[in-house]
Each structure stands twice: as structure tokens, then as C-alpha cells.
């Protein structure tokens, strides 16, 4: 009887061990590698719709820096509030808007992802060291309703997975 009881105990141990390993792996993956995101707000429409779902890939900028036109995930208030924004200006560049057209270093920039008409006007401003200039894609709404501007690169925690 003792050998039979040991075999039954071993059969129970394997499935429990599998469940623990899977739960631990899921915790690590969804806490540190791909963070689930519920998209709220329309500042990135039509690229990302209000109510949509995505993941933030934390490894995206592990070996590289964000570049112009990248969509990045910004830590706004910890992991509870994160923003999706588009990089439009890099360190040392001068960014402005004239009649809805983005200008970098005085030259207009083509932005095919901006689908809706825009009338933004913003005087030139230089992006500080270790900062990026971020803006949403939906520029049809007034500037004062948007969260945009310079942010330190350490607040960029990744990029949307798709």
C-alpha cells in the first residue's frame, strides 16, 4: 500500500507543479514583458480607437531609442495610467505647428497617420536633453484638450505590440 500511495501523491504533484510554473510565468510575462492596455480616450484616433485593447511591449526600446513617428507608451501616473503618444520631436530639435502642419527645425513633416483636419498653431520650442516631444494622432480636437509636449525618455516604458 505504501508504494501505491507514493505513486498517487507523485501523480498529484506534477499537475500542481505545472500550474505553479504556468502561473509564475504568466505573472512575469504580463507584469514585466507585455503589459495589457485598455485604451481610453480618442487622442490617438484613428490609429488606436477608444475602448480598444493592446499590449505594451516593454522590450521594444531595450537596445534602441525611440525615433520620429514611433508610437510609444508613456508612464503618466505609474502603471495605472499610461498614455499612447506619437514621437514627433527628438532631443535638440525645434518643434512647432503652423496651421495644423508639424514643423521640425523649420521644415514641414509629412504625417500620413494624421487623417483628420487640424488647425493647431504652436510657437517653436526646442526639445531638451534626454527628452522627446510627443503628440497624439487626433489633432482635430483643440490643443488644450490634449496631453502632449516634452517628456523625459525614462518615462517611455515601451511601445504598443500592434
Q: For position 6, what pLDDT does the model report?
A: 58
Q: For position 81, what pLDDT does the model report?
A: 81
State pTM to two decimals.
0.84
Q: For position 15, what pLDDT does the model report?
A: 84
Cis ω for the linkage preceding 87 (within 30 of 0):
no
Q: For position 13, what pLDDT does the model report?
A: 78
Q: For position 129, what pLDDT does the model report?
A: 97
Domain ranges of the chain: 37-160
37-160 CATH choice from 3.30.390.50, 3.30.479.10, 3.40.50.300, 2.10.109.10? 2.10.109.10
Q: For position 144, what pLDDT does the model report?
A: 85
Q: For position 146, what pLDDT does the model report?
A: 82
pLDDT in tens, the chain (162 residues): 555 565 555 577 788 889 999 999 999 999 889 999 999 999 999 999 999 999 999 999 999 999 999 999 999 876 678 899 999 999 999 999 999 999 999 999 999 999 888 899 999 999 999 999 999 999 998 888 888 999 999 999 999 998
Phi-psi category of residue 10: left, alpha or beta, with phi > 0 → left and psi -120 to 50 → alpha: alpha
Checking 125-129 for CB contacts under 8 A at 24+ apart, the result is 125/94, 125/95, 125/96, 125/150, 126/92, 126/93, 126/94, 126/95, 127/89, 127/90, 127/91, 127/92, 127/93, 127/94, 127/95, 128/91, 129/91, 129/92
Q: For position 18, what pLDDT does the model report?
A: 92
- Check if the beta carbon of residue 95 is closer than 8 Å to that of residue 83: no
Amino acid at each position: 500500500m505504501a508504494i501505491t500511495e507514493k505513486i498517487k501523491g507523485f501523480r498529484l504533484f506534477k499537475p500542481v507543479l505545472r500550474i505553479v510554473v504556468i502561473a509564475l510565468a504568466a505573472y512575469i510575462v504580463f507584469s514585466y514583458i507585455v503589459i495589457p492596455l485598455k485604451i481610453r480616450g480618442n487622442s490617438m484616433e484613428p490609429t488606436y480607437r477608444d475602448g480598444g485593447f493592446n499590449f505594451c511591449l516593454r522590450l521594444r526600446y531595450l537596445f534602441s531609442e525611440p525615433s520620429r513617428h514611433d508610437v510609444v507608451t508613456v508612464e503618466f501616473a505609474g502603471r495605472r495610467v499610461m498614455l499612447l503618444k506619437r514621437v514627433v520631436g527628438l532631443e535638440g530639435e525645434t518643434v512647432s505647428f503652423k496651421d495644423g502642419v508639424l514643423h521640425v527645425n523649420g521644415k514641414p513633416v509629412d504625417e500620413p497617420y494624421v487623417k483628420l483636419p487640424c488647425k493647431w498653431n504652436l510657437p517653436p520650442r526646442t526639445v531638451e536633453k534626454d527628452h522627446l516631444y510627443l503628440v497624439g494622432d487626433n489633432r482635430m480636437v483643440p490643443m488644450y484638450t490634449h496631453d502632449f509636449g516634452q517628456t523625459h525618455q525614462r518615462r517611455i516604458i515601451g511601445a504598443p505590440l500592434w
